[in-house]
Amino acid sequence: MTLAVGVIASLYISWSELFLHIKAQWKLGAARKSVFYATALYIGVTCEHFHEHTHGHLRD
């Protein structure tokens, strides 16, 4: 019982710390994050387009 409470408490503490860390990082790097997401989206769309393009040619 004590072990379970300890595990739950440590999980809760680590989750709340993680949340606070993410919140602080978000405030600090909101602009950086938007650039990161835009880049990731661009890469994803480009890869998807390339994938469709190559597979389209292979099917023909």
Contact 57, 50 (CB under 8 A): no
Q: How confident is the model at residue 34 (pLDDT cuts 50, 70, 90)?
A: confident
Confidence (pLDDT) at 54 = 67
Contact 26, 33 (CB under 8 A): yes
Token couple for 20: 């606070």
Across the range 9-37, mean pLDDT stands at 78
Across the range 19-26, mean pLDDT stands at 80
